[in-house]
Structures are given as C-alpha cells and as structure tokens.
C-alpha cells in the first residue's frame, strides 16, 4: 500500500530522526543508520557523503526502508516507507541548508562550523531520494 494519509504526512513533516535500513545485496543482513530527512512531494530526501558505506550499499541494491518514530513523550506511532532510492548530486546543498536548521541550533558554534564544512564539501555529497512503494504504520 503506497497511500500516505494526512496524518502520515503531518507526522513525517515534523523534524524527527529516522532509521534508513539498507543491505549490500538481496539476502544480506540489513544495516540500519540514523538519518535526517525531509518529506516533500511524495518522497523522503536525505543527504550523505558520496563515499559513505550506505551510499555504496544503495548503489549495489537501491531498495531501502526509512522508519520514522515518535519522540519521547509523544503517543507511540511510527511510519515506515519501503521503496527504492535514487542517488543524485542535484540539489544536495539546498537540502543540507533546509535540514540543518530543522535539526540543529545553528547558534551552537560546533553546529555552524559543521554546516560550513558541508558547504565547502558540497561536491563530495549526494542526495538520497526514497520513493515509497509501500507504506506501513503502527
């Protein structure tokens, strides 16, 4: 089922960490990693260094699951997006610029410095665009 409900869209539109699960090849152990994401236009967008292991795994097998869960203190809820991931360098720094202030206080010098480093290294980063083929929730 690929239907995203209004409640799902609202949930996914709130800044929260998610777990991106990938594998190197069919039958391999799944490898989950925490990620920032943006839900927009029916896709989940994330960014990464192009040389990161998760990117190599997605190049080998583009199937992935993104699992977003409730925050502590929220009612228990989760949304899982199962789909394929497109890897592109297009728009990556714009995504970084949108996501960083959603997840970090840029008044913290360490965070501002990290963002500045990402800007300088933009040509070594990629955008990961997950298009869901199945949506699960609980």
Contact 81, 66 (CB under 8 A): yes
Give residue 74's region: left, alpha or beta (phi > 0; psi -120 to 50): beta
Does position 86 have pLDDT exceeding 90, yes or no?
yes
Q: Token pair for residue 87?
A: 């890897």
d(CA 110, CA 121): 16
Does position 1 have pLDDT exceeding 70, yes or no?
no
- Kindly report, residue by residue over 89-114, the tens digit of the pLDDT: 999 999 999 999 999 999 999 999 99
| CA contacts within 13 A on the Cβ side of 51 | 4
- Kindly report, residue by residue over 38-79, the tens digit of the pLDDT: 999 999 999 999 999 999 999 999 999 999 999 999 999 999
Q: What is the pTM of this model?
A: 0.94
- The per-residue pLDDT for 38 is 98
Beta strands in 55-120 (DSSP E): 63-69, 78-88
């Amino acid at each position: 089922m690929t239907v995203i409900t209004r409640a799902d869209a609202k949930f996914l539109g709130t800044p929260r960490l998610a777990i991106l699960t990938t594998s190197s090849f069919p039958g391999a152990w799944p490898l989950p990693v925490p990620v920032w994401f943006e839900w927009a236009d029916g896709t989940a967008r994330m960014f990464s260094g192009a040389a990161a292991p998760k990117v190599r795994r997605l190049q080998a097998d583009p199937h992935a699951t993104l699992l977003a869960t409730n925050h502590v203190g929220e009612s228990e809820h989760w949304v899982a997006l199962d789909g394929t991931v497109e890897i592109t360098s297009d728009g990556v720094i714009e995504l970084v610029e949108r996501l960083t202030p959603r997840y970090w206080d840029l008044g913290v010098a360490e965070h501002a410095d990290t963002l500045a480093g990402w800007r300088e290294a933009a040509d070594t980063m990629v955008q990961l665009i997950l298009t869901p083929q199945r949506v699960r929730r609980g």
